[in-house]
């Protein structure tokens, strides 16, 4: 499945233009436009839709319990990983002084939130390391969207000058294994 | 489908007990325990699992596009509604001075976050009101989990002394309609 892509120039504020607001009033990427003009925003909704178009190999789990575990872990990764990184990045980056929250409304940075975000990501890495001590992937045996989400967390964390802790050997092993997948280079 | 329930005494910190940490190391409710002992946390994962056990009537959408729209709206409601309420509540409630984030780790309250949370919920109500100007439900014609989530946001918002704005007539109409459903009394 190939999708046409259009880059939105976030660094220069294209997401706040009138044209982009008609595509997503929340002024955020990504957005998937369907052939009939339907506009889907929020990365989880877009991934779910693409999975339904191409369900094999399954990235969301193969049984009701496995699917629920994938959603559970994806939620924890989103809330304890991504949100913490977003807090750290948006509340410490010079160009975002009035954009501490994604979206069209202006919110002033809160410096304590940047410190808290870095601390939370470190705690989350400890938790993931412990969770992965007896597992090849986040949800047991099978690679899933939860592994992709956690991989992106590790990728993004350089932005806030945090890295996988030296003693997190399970997390490092998992990260090396996911990095070796051909899709990780995309 | 009937589920046995066990109340966890959050006001007295039972979620931080050793016994409950074995059930959910994130020290949060709800948790669903399956007959085989599998423990599911995160409300979205639990709802998804229960929906798979009892798929009619559908609460998650009937087509791939509708399901994606439900996930999209549920995510927006979670991030722009629930998270804002949680920020406001946890950063202003006396008993939570060191518990500004759900979970076992202690984080000190940040008073600016309480103000920001209240402001964000008000903006979100304006957005929902506009969205509902030409719709019976959050995702078009059919009642879905997104309506349930938004209904709970309106229910919770009293905790932070915010209410549906007087001029939000579409949101008020929607809320009256959802309130009239027999399940709303549960």
A157 and A70 belong to one structural domain: yes
**What ipTM, to 2 d.p.?**
0.95
B100 and B30 belong to one structural domain: no
Residue A95 lies in a domain: yes
Cα B47 to Cα A54: distance, rounded to the nearest angstrom: 24
A84 and A140 belong to one structural domain: yes
Q: What is the pTM of this model?
A: 0.95
B74 and B23 belong to one structural domain: no
Contacts A122 to B, Cβ<8 Å: none
E strand map for chain A: 31-33, 39-41
Contact predicate B131/B173, CB 8 Å: no
CATH of the domain at B27: 3.40.30.10
Contacts B101 to A, Cβ<8 Å: 116, 120
Cα A102 to Cα A27: distance, rounded to the nearest angstrom: 7
Indicate the residue of A48, A67, A110 with minimum beta-carbon distance to B112.
A110
pLDDT digits (tens, 9 = 90+) for A17-43: 999 999 999 999 999 999 999 999 999
What domain range includes position B44? 10-53
B97 and B177 belong to one structural domain: yes
Percent of chain A topping pLDDT 70: 100
A34 and A85 belong to one structural domain: no
B→A contacts (Cβ < 8 Å), by residue, are 25-26, 34, 38, 40-42, 44-46, 48-49, 52-53, 64-65, 67-69, 71-72, 75-76, 80, 83, 101, 103, 105, 107, 110, 112-113, 116, 119-120, 123, 127
A29 and A48 belong to one structural domain: yes
Question: Taken in order B119, B124, B129, B131, is the CA torsion positive or negative?
Answer: positive
What mean pLDDT comes out for the span A3-21? 95
Question: In this model, does residue A1 exceed pLDDT 80?
Answer: no
């Amino acid at each position: 499945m190939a999708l046409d892509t259009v880059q939105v120039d976030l660094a220069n504020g294209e997401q706040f233009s009138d044209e982009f607001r008609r595509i997503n009033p929340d002024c955020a990427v990504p957005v998937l436009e369907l052939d009939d003009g339907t506009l889907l925003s929020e990365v989880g909704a877009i991934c779910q839709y693409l999975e339904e178009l191409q369900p094999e190999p399954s990235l969301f789990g193969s049984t009701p319990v496995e699917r629920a575990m994938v959603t559970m872990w994806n939620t924890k990764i989103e809330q304890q990983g991504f949100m913490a990184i977003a807090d750290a990045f948006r509340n410490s980056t010079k160009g975002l002084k009035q954009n501490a929250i994604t979206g069209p409304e202006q919110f002033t940075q809160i410096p304590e939130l940047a410190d808290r975000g870095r601390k939370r990501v470190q705690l989350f890495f400890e938790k993931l390391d412990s969770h992965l001590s007896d597992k090849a992937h986040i949800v047991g045996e099978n690679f899933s969207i939860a592994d992709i989400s956690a991989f992106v967390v590790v990728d993004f964390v350089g932005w806030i000058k945090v890295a996988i802790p030296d003693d997190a050997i399970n997390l490092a092993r998992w990260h090396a294994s996911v990095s070796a997948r051909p899709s990780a280079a995309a």
